[in-house]
Amino acid sequence: MLYAIKNDDGIIRFDRQNYILTSVDYGSIGASHSTAKGVDQVGERVVNTTLDTRDVEIVGFIKAATPEEMEAKKAALYQMCDPRTPWLAMPDEETALECRSTATVKFTPSRLTNNERVASFVIDAISFDPLFRDAVLRYRKIAEWTSNFIWPLIIPHTGFTFADRTEGLITTLENGGSAETGLVIHFSATATVQNPTLTNIETGEFIKLNRTLVAGETVIVNTNYGQESAISQNGDEIEDVINSVDLDSTFLQARVGSTRFRYTAESNVNSMTVTIYFYQRYLGV
């Protein structure tokens, strides 16, 4: 099944009218096992297992009413599957697999299947991150504001608060995927906050910023493997603050199932909101 292919510039849907899907092969993920063997040991002991890349093949054809329409649709497919940029294969509207083409789109040389009205094509790609993921980021927020609006709205003479801040500094993140996943953590300050920390309650692992955040500042920490970073945003100002990450920190991951996180700070904890963004990841669809 393939609903669409997508990149930052647009989307091509397999709608059975313009782009028609013949077949899609998502292949499988190879596994590499590292083993160790002791003296007189029977067999071997598995030390580590890693997953390899995934090969993808998409076969389909384009339909057009005019030569100009065919040229435009071919150009759109070439641009979408440019080997220099990644794109998403979407089995459905809620799931995606990041791919890179291993060659430009291949059209058949035969005039019977490559002409002004119909053009058969093949897209060969590789997924270096072989796990399917959510098409849209999920999120959990710690220390939210809860609305006080109740209709019909009556404002007493003593005054009215539009919202109250929740007191809880703990949240439970539910990962319903089939693999642990990295996080994108937003530390957002409404006043001066010193050295915020996010801790995995079960394991004791934490990520801490040795930094005093000012009002309006958000520090975004990415813990996804190979993408580890820490960026400060305050209005139009953007700063790399990876050196503010405490050396004893762990780039936290969310295991499959439930993970509880607690937020703390060395001062003014009530002036901070923490939002955790993540994708659920899947071995297959």
C-alpha–C-alpha distance, residues 221 and 242, integer Å? 8
Residue 185 has pLDDT above 70, yes or no: yes
Same domain, 214 and 122: no
Share of the chain above pLDDT 70, in %: 91
pLDDT at 161: 53
Same domain, 80 and 178: no
Same domain, 235 and 264: yes
Is 221:233 a contact under the CB 8 Å cutoff?
no
Q: What is the DSSP letter of 28?
A: -
pLDDT at 163: 46
Same domain, 142 and 246: yes
Is 182:222 a contact under the CB 8 Å cutoff?
yes
Query: How many domains in the chain?
Result: 2
Same domain, 159 and 72: no
Q: Which of 116-130, 150-164, 224-238 has the lowest mean pLDDT?
A: 150-164
User: Which pTM does this prediction carry?
Assistant: 0.83
- Record the tokens describing residue 168, joined without a space: 């809880």
Residue 55 has pLDDT above 60, yes or no: yes
84-94 per-position pLDDT tens digit: 999 999 999 99
225-275 per-position pLDDT tens digit: 999 999 999 999 999 999 999 999 999 999 999 999 999 999 988 889 999
Domain boundary among 69, 101, 130: 130
In the predicted model, what is the mean pLDDT of residues 168-174? 84
pLDDT at 270: 86
Domain boundary among 98, 130, 162: 130
C-alpha–C-alpha distance, residues 57 and 75, integer Å? 19
Residue 148 has pLDDT above 60, yes or no: no
The two beta strands, 257-264 and 138-142, are unpaired
The mean pLDDT value of the chain amounts to 92
Q: What is the CATH number of the domain that holds 126?
A: 2.40.30.200
Same domain, 111 and 147: no
pLDDT at 269: 87
Residue 189 has pLDDT above 80, yes or no: yes
Q: Is 240 helix (H, G, I), strand (E, B) or coil?
A: strand
pLDDT at 109: 93
Same domain, 20 and 95: yes
**Helix (H) or strand (E) segment spanning residue 51:** strand 45-51
2-43 per-position pLDDT tens digit: 999 999 999 999 999 999 999 999 999 999 999 998 888 899
Full domain range(s) for residue 80: 4-36+43-130
C-alpha–C-alpha distance, residues 56 and 91, integer Å? 12
Q: What is the CATH number of the domain that holds 176?
A: 2.60.120.860
Same domain, 118 and 199: no
Same domain, 47 and 19: yes
C-alpha–C-alpha distance, residues 279 and 178, integer Å? 11
C-alpha–C-alpha distance, residues 239 and 84, integer Å? 28
In the predicted model, what is the mean pLDDT of residues 195-221? 96
173-184 per-position pLDDT tens digit: 999 999 999 999
pLDDT band at 166 (very low <50, low <70, confident <90, very high): very low
Domain boundary among 82, 99, 130: 130
Same domain, 116 and 222: no
pLDDT band at 157 (very low <50, low <70, confident <90, very high): low
pLDDT at 170: 85
pLDDT at 235: 92
Same domain, 115 and 171: no
Residue 66 has pLDDT above 90, yes or no: yes
Same domain, 180 and 226: yes
C-alpha–C-alpha distance, residues 227 and 248, integer Å? 19
